[in-house]
Structures are given as structure tokens and as C-alpha cells.
Chain A
Amino acid sequence: DVKVTQSSRYLVKRTGEKVFLECVQDMDHENMFWYRQDPGLGLRLIYFSYDVKMKEKGDIPEGYSVSREKKERFSLILESASTNQTSMYLCASSSIGRGRTNTEAFFGQGTRLTVV
């Protein structure tokens, strides 16, 4: 059974802390994504990686960074957590399509982060 695993389901952090959200996939996928989900706003792309050490900013990268040192792992980093980063964070992975085929994304269970 294919899997995307996020390290925590629930996380509570203090303002100003450095926060790491980890995501691991076992499908040998090239693409990995971090989304943020807020009520009424749907899923907004934070960062996207299409290969090891490669990354692209999504729609809302401010306040976040990412790391992809190995193909299976994609980490989201909140350099200095703030209360407006309280949200549900979803990691996903997919294989390469590049317009030749439609490859769906597989999602983790999500991490609900609360910054106090």
C-alpha cells in the first residue's frame, strides 16, 4: 500500500520557535509538495520540489523554507513560528507527468499545527 507519512498529526509550538514538519514517501516519486489548508481558502501551495535539492516557491512561501536532501523526504521549516501560521499542513507526492500523462498526488494525513 502506497504511503505518504507525516511525522506528527498534532503539534503545539510557541511563537518564535523553529518548527520542522517532516514528510516521507515510499513510492519513489520525484515530485513532493507542501500545502497549507485553511477554512474557506482551500489548499494553498507553499513549496514544491521536483527532484532532490530542487525546490520552487508556491503561492505562499513567506515565513517558510524547505529541505529535500533525499528523494523520499521533504521537510517544511518554519524559521520563527507565528500565530498566523496556525493551520493544517498537508504533504503530497506524485510521479512526473510534465504534460504527457496525468499523475495524481498521494497525500499524508496532515499535521494540525497550533502556534501559541
Chain B
Amino acid sequence: AQSVTQLGSHVSVSEGALVLLRCNYSSSVPPYLFWYVQYPNQGLQLLLKYTSAATLVKGINGFEAEFKKSETSFHLTKPSAHMSDAAEYFCAVTQNRDDKIIFGKGTRLHILP
């Protein structure tokens, strides 16, 4: 079964600093990968998804992720953090055979003023 691992349950960055949230996947076939964001007391919303058309994927709110097959990674980045980016971020993979979506344990991003 496919799975994703997120390194770091909490990450703190200063406002204006680079955001880097790590995600590694395990898959023997090309994976369908996603990043979702959850703001307090809300459901999840899609940040971006890997489509295989390009290894660098741009999402909403200035976030992007790079698919690196050699490293089995799909890390999420943003050049300059904003206070409004404080949220929990989930990496996810869809199983090809049945569309089940498997989530990582999440990384809570804290933005320091």
C-alpha cells in the first residue's frame, strides 16, 4: 500500500522567511500526490497536486512543491512566510487501484512575528 511520511509535526518560521515542509512517499508506481491545508476549525482544502506534466507544481497562496523521483519526495515550499500561512498542512497520496486517499500525520506551521 502507498503511504506518505511528513517530517516534523511542528515547524516554526519567522514572517518573511522560507517555508519548507517535508513529505516523502513510498510507491512502486507513479504516485498521485497532493498537499492540503487546514485552517483552524475548518475542513481541508487543496493547496496543489502533482499531475506528472511538470515536476514543479504551483499552488494557491504562493506555495509550490517539487516532485523528485530519485528522492521519493514532494516537499512544499514558499519563499516568504506570511502570518496567514499559520495552519496545518497534510501531504497525501491516492491509491491507484481504488482511489483511497492516504494522508500523512500533518505538520503544523507556526509563523513567528
A residues with CB within 8 A of B: 4, 31, 33, 35, 40-43, 45, 48, 50, 56, 58, 90, 92, 94, 96-99, 102-110
Contacts and interface: CB of A to CB of B under 8 A. Distances in A.
B101 A105 contact: yes
Contacts, number: 72
A43 B90 contact: yes
Given A58-B100, A107-B36, 7 more contacts: A35-B103, A43-B90, A48-B98, A50-B99, A97-B94, A104-B34, A104-B49
B103 A97 contact: no
A97 B43 contact: no
A33 B101 CA distance: 9
Given A40-B9, A90-B43, A107-B43, A45 B105 contact: no
B12 interface: no
B99 A109 contact: no
Contacts of B104: 42
Given A31-B99, A43-B90, A97-B94, A102 B49 contact: yes
Given A97-B32, A99-B97, A102-B34, A107 B45 contact: yes
Interface in B72-99: 90, 94, 96-99
Interface string B3-31: 00000010000000000000000000100
Nearest to A44: B103
Give the one of A40, A45, A99 with max B CB within 10 A: A99
Contacts of B101: 33, 45, 92, 94, 105
Contacts of B100: 33, 45, 48, 56, 58
B7 to A, nearest CB: 13
Given A42-B106, A94-B99, A97-B99, A102 B50 contact: yes
A97 B94 CA distance: 9
A109 B42 contact: yes
B52 to A, nearest CB: 8
B98 A56 contact: yes
Given A42-B104, A42-B105, A43-B90, A50 B42 contact: no
